[in-house]
Structure 1
């Protein structure tokens, strides 16, 4: 890769260690505030720690974006050494991270924050695109320009197994959560890739196996121009049988070069709870 360009992202990109190493990605963790203690996402706290605390005490953490001074300190070492930095942020519609990153970049030179307009491995898809362009020798400013045109081509959605965590976090009412449980409904959370905001799409009824089958087929059939390079199966902690089920359906319905399996960070998992799974891919 071009040794004078650093590729970086917020921890919410949810890439696994193998992919971070393969694409030489640096990342900075979000903050997880639990019982008045500040943890770093996936550094000194895990999603399973959060789930245990919720089931034991019915407590959920607050999540906090990376602040301006943290970004400045993080980028400074590279800027001082003559590097250019391309950094991908969690969508600005759901976090102040991008705005903070922009403010930090104004204090430095050669730092290029990008609003992914997405979350989780929806950001990861853009990271792969950036890494490939860095490897080809493209200039940083040109890469940034191209990435900004690609955000609307990244498609992210997830099936929630329960609305309990959404309700506990104040993101849906008790009536909605109870109704979904009584009616055996599992909503599909859709990411608006023009802003990064989230909304509820189709509501599936049935057990998780049945729902994941239908959801996966629906998503693969929703576009005629899917880019067949990479697809992510990203989950918040789920039995491997469901992952293999979705992987098999993808293989039968589309010929992707790579199917990546990754687990969501604490920031993402604390909002959706366990047994959440989504497929994320790009269109041409």
Structure 2
């Protein structure tokens, strides 16, 4: 029987205990404050990152893993007999992480076709949910083809909505333009953001005030999941548990949800979204 191993990167924001339980391997991205370099969720945890984000004179920068880092991991995993690897990563339009993993897979000797690199077209638990589902399917004895079909189906039936306190961090990180960031700071306008099917950050609506933004998310979600069952809801936050609890309560009051959990946004995702961000990751598969 084929031994299938799941690999992801640190932007998947999978809690450590769950990664260990499911034997998911993780390659960290890097985060830089001036000349200081940290490994995302390895040498810098969320509880250390957010205070540093507000106190440091340096705006954080992020960088992808090198192909060599992926290659070392793939080689180690493939030393196990009859092993194949499914490697699920941050949207290729947001980072070069996917390309690093893909390049590493082509550098393997005598292991052609044994590493399957998958573009999540997502971020944070939009990646994490796919990796967790893949790991559980591997444990259940499903084949590589079955698991890849599962994550493709999940990717097409996944919905993300997030609210940021400020668009400053997305603008400085190059994810949106200056005009959008300026507009968002005026008149308490709260843009409701999502990721499009390619993984690009997209504003799907703009409303005034936090309460109206949450109410609008409920309307959007009702349209997106009409006729479907919400299999899982993961509420994520960037040092804003109170806001996360409010969003969870609002969704749970209106929808039947089979599974709900909280996720903390890790340093790399938090560096782009900014402190105070809350998000809902919804799967109907």
Fold-level match, TM-score > 0.5? yes
Give SS of 2:231's match.
strand
* Structure 2: gaps spanning 5 or more residues: none
Matching residue of 1:93: 93
Matching residue of 1:41: 40
Matching residue of 2:132: 128
Matched, 1:242 2:243: yes
Deviation at 1:56, TM superposition (A): 3.3
What RMSD in Å do the two structures reach over aligned CA positions?
2.3
Deviation at 1:32, TM superposition (A): 0.8
Give SS of 2:170's match.
helix
Summarize the Cα distance change of 1:149–1:36 in structure 2 as closer, same or farther, 3 Å threshold. Answer: same
State the TM-score, normalizing by the size of structure 1: 0.89
- Runs of 4+ aligned structure 1 residues displaced above 6 Å come to none
1:1-284 paired onto structure 2 within 5 Å: 4-47=3-46, 49-82=48-81, 83-108=83-108, 109=111, 110-172=114-176, 175-193=179-197, 195-206=198-209, 208-238=210-240, 240-284=241-285
Deviation at 1:40, TM superposition (A): 0.2
Give SS of 2:93's match.
coil
Summarize the Cα distance change of 1:190–1:132 in structure 2 as closer, same or farther, 3 Å threshold. Answer: same
Deviation at 1:117, TM superposition (A): 0.8
Contact between 2:91 and 2:122, CA under 8 Å: does it hold in 1? yes
Deviation at 1:214, TM superposition (A): 3.4
Summarize the Cα distance change of 1:146–1:57 in structure 2 as closer, same or farther, 3 Å threshold. Answer: closer
CA distance in 2, matches of 1:173, 1:127: 31
Q: Which is further off, 28-37 or 222-231?
A: 222-231
* Structure 1: gaps spanning 5 or more residues: none
Contact between 1:50 and 1:60, CA under 8 Å: does it hold in 2? no
Instruction: Give CA-to-partner distance per residue, 1:107-153, whole Å, 9 cap, x none.
Output: 23221111111111111221233133213311123322442344222
Q: Which is further off, 63-72 or 11-20?
A: 11-20
How many aligned residue pairs are there? 280
Summarize the Cα distance change of 1:132–1:44 in structure 2 as closer, same or farther, 3 Å threshold. Answer: closer
Q: Which is further off, 47-56 or 22-31?
A: 47-56
State the TM-score, normalizing by the size of structure 2: 0.88
CA distance in 2, matches of 1:79, 1:141: 18
